Amino acid sequence: MWNYEKMSKKRVQCEIINRLLSFLASIRYNHRVIKKKEIMVLNAVERKIDQYVSELDDAYVASLYRKLPHGKRLRTKLILKIAGSDLKVVKTAATVEMIHAASLLHDDVIDDAYTRRGVVSLNASAGNKTAIMMGDILYSKAFFELCSISPEVAKVVSNAVVQLSLGELADVELSKKFHTNREAYLKMVYQKTASLMEASAESAAILAGKPRNAYRKYGHNLGMAFQMIDDILDITSDSKTLGKPALHDFLEGKVTLPYMYLYEVLAEEDREYLLSLYRKRLSADEALWIQSAMRKYEIIEKSYFEAKELIVEVIKLMESLGEKDLSNIAKEMIEREF
Amino acid sequence: MWNYEKMSKKRVQCEIINRLLSFLASIRYNHRVIKKKEIMVLNAVERKIDQYVSELDDAYVASLYRKLPHGKRLRTKLILKIAGSDLKVVKTAATVEMIHAASLLHDDVIDDAYTRRGVVSLNASAGNKTAIMMGDILYSKAFFELCSISPEVAKVVSNAVVQLSLGELADVELSKKFHTNREAYLKMVYQKTASLMEASAESAAILAGKPRNAYRKYGHNLGMAFQMIDDILDITSDSKTLGKPALHDFLEGKVTLPYMYLYEVLAEEDREYLLSLYRKRLSADEALWIQSAMRKYEIIEKSYFEAKELIVEVIKLMESLGEKDLSNIAKEMIEREF
């Protein structure tokens, strides 16, 4: 069983091992070549997005795009790992990143978010209206380009955007009052977070002529686990590590799995106390009460175990397909800091 | 030369002739059959949209959709007139109407509009956020369905949505200060209004195997003239006819062609007075001053003539292709009430 109290020490050990491995790897020619190629293809995706944006022939839009933070390009890395570096693959990654950026723009308007990836969000700096329109522009240009890549990929990706938009609405609805509807929550997580990861992996498999269902499963589980772990981190991390206040989800009305599980095991009186903290800006004592209760009833372990199960399933799946890198990406996900 | 002062009388004459024609037509079996078929196909498009919405499998979304007013289905009528009633045609019309509805949802959020087609707008009744998400859902479902209709149609329609979104942004930017940039204004009108009409006509031509460039031109000119005439009506009509206050565009910062033309002919002192009224809630006297100046310098005639030229061009084009109905639709557009 994983023990979050020992994680900090474990993380230090991991860091040392990683740096050592990284040093060893750096003197191996083979690795250098692979790494260099990876960076080249990642750059090719950035250049493709720049090209798509410049084709819009609108200086203002181009200047707005330059202000958006790039993020980790997770979906691109996934696509490239599965499908290599053909032009169609680069184009698909570019459209998926534009769709992801568009969804974040609208997401930030919906959530009244004032920062994104550590910088001021576009809705905060240029207004909600500009953020909405910029989102529409990125969405539609991505759709337009998808039509020329592959009808199958276009279907898979546009279906993910349908799910994404439905998930955004479901998220707002589910955040209006406390609930313990696990099924509705998981459906929303699938729609809002997992669907585009799933579509990225499936599209890449289609382009590479690999078995699409297996890769679809991989993207799906990775996306679900990613969000479930994010939900846990909101409870266990300090504000500094998160870059936002801890226990922020509950304040925003988001009843994530740990809160449902905690509610279910609490006695009546404590349940009422928990409910009284819902959507409330918490004092240090109140926050501590939630965190202690989560610890006492081993809620974090239970929630983490669920995410881990999803990951273990796809680690096995990817190993059976000889996809060592993809299996490693999944492994890294369950080694994030708690 | 067309004379708006005689229009009211002319309209009465038109109305009498139309009713007479309508009566005569109603006793002709042939006409009845055509009319009945038209209504059946229009209904088929509505049912197709209902089906697409119900496939989203979200009761809340379905209830939101039911609250949206349907509008005149202009683009559907255009598509059906050009391409008949095949399933692909019905599907294309359904996706175009969903895209049009999505664009209006976002448009109303951008413009802070509180009514749409005579009823309370969704942003006013359910909030901006719901309107944004509902727009995203309709856009993405339409894109998803377009992928299964025809790659060519998908490209044409999604390109129109790119233009539409760019036009929305350009409209906001152009409405920030008074300008006389005719070229920028016409580009914005093309993007925001004409592009989807153009795409509707071109898509229909593709599906029907007709010469796409001619029909594209038809949709383009119809869309441009439609907006130019709308701009004129905002100046010449009374508030009751418009369903919104007259001279509303100028209040909103929209410098339409008549205002540019007026500014250009005015003497320096009057120019300053006109500028002082920009973005201002006008008194009756101020409104009258604008309307009188427009009349004095025959600005409305000049603007109307420009729209009419676009229409006459496509009337000839459609007549040369034997498209009597399409030529008539264009004719009707220049017979709207001024």
In terms of pLDDT, which residue wins out, A218 or A127?
Answer: A218
Tell me what the mean pLDDT of segment A134-163 comes to: 96
Give the pLDDT confidence of B263-285 residue by residue, as tens digits.
999 999 999 999 999 999 999 89
Q: Quick one: A142 and A190 in the same domain?
A: no
C-beta of residue A185 within 8 angstroms of C-beta of residue A255: yes
The conformation of residue A269, written as its DSSP 8-state character, comes to: H
Residue whose pair of structure tokens reads 């499998």 in the numeric block: B57
Please give the torsion angle defined by the CA atoms of residues B2, B4, B8 and B10, in that order, rounded to the nearest 10 degrees: 0
- B106 and A148: CB-CB below 8 Å? no
In the stretch 161-200 of chain B, residues with CB closer than 8 A to chain A read: 161-162, 164-166, 168-170, 172-173
Which residues of chain A lie closer than 8 angstroms to B99, CB-CB? none
Which of A99, A122, A149 is where one domain is finished?
A149
Give the pLDDT confidence of A267-317 residue by residue, as tens digits.
999 999 999 999 999 998 999 999 999 999 999 999 999 999 999 999 999
Give dist(CA B141, CA B137) in Å, integer. 6
Mean pLDDT, chain B, rounded, equals: 88
Give dist(CA B157, CA A140) in Å, integer. 10
**Å between A140 CA and nearest CA of chain B:** 5
Mean pLDDT, chain A, rounded, equals: 88
pLDDT band of B123, cuts 50, 70, 90: confident
- A60 and B144: CB-CB below 8 Å? no
R_g over Cα of chain A: 21
Please calculate the CA angle B89-B95-B101 and round it to the nearest 5 degrees.
Answer: 135
Smallest Cα–Cα separation from B172: which of B102, B107, B95? B107
A155 touches chain B (CB under 8 A): yes
**Å between B101 CA and nearest CA of chain A:** 14
Smallest Cα–Cα separation from A160: which of A190, A195, A193, A189? A195
Q: For residue B250, which amino acid is it?
A: F
Residue A9 lies in a domain: no
Helix axes B182-189, B151-174, angle to 10 degrees: 140
Q: For residue B210, which amino acid is it?
A: K
- The pLDDT of residue B69 is 85
Q: Quick one: A293 and A193 in the same domain?
A: yes
In terms of pLDDT, which residue wins out, B45 or B333?
Answer: B45
In chain A, the percentage of residues whose pLDDT exceeds 70 is 87
Give the pLDDT confidence of B149-208 residue by residue, as tens digits.
999 999 999 999 999 999 999 999 999 999 999 999 999 999 999 999 999 999 999 999
- B141 and A162: CB-CB below 8 Å? yes
pLDDT band of A245, cuts 50, 70, 90: low
Q: Which CATH number is A249's domain given? A: 1.10.600.10
Q: Is the model's pLDDT at A13 over the cut of 60?
A: no
The CA distances from residue A202 to A124, A157, A187, B28, B189, in Å, are 34, 9, 19, 57, 39
Q: Is the model's pLDDT at B8 over the cut of 70?
A: no
Range of the domain at A42: 15-149
User: What is the domain count for chain B?
Assistant: 2
Q: Quick one: B266 and B323 in the same domain?
A: yes
- A155 and B144: CB-CB below 8 Å? yes
C-beta of residue B289 within 8 angstroms of C-beta of residue B266: no
Alpha helices in chain A (DSSP H): 7-26, 29-55, 59-67, 74-83, 87-110, 122-126, 128-149, 151-174, 182-189, 195-208, 212-236, 239-242, 248-251, 257-265, 268-277, 284-296, 299-320, 324-333
Residue B184 lies in a domain: no
Which residues of chain B lie closer than 8 angstroms to A170, CB-CB? 58
**Å between B107 CA and nearest CA of chain A:** 9
pLDDT band of A12, cuts 50, 70, 90: very low
Which of B150, B175, B200 is where one domain is finished?
B175
B56 touches chain A (CB under 8 A): yes
Residue B44 lies in a domain: yes
Among all residues of chain B, which has the CA nearest to that of A109?
A: B129
Q: Quick one: A329 and A220 in the same domain?
A: yes
The conformation of residue A247, written as its DSSP 8-state character, comes to: T
Distance from chain centroid for Cα B192: 9
- A128 and B133: CB-CB below 8 Å? no
The CA distances from residue B180 to A216, A225, B232, in Å, are 53, 55, 16
Give the pLDDT confidence of A254-276 residue by residue, as tens digits.
999 999 999 999 999 999 999 99
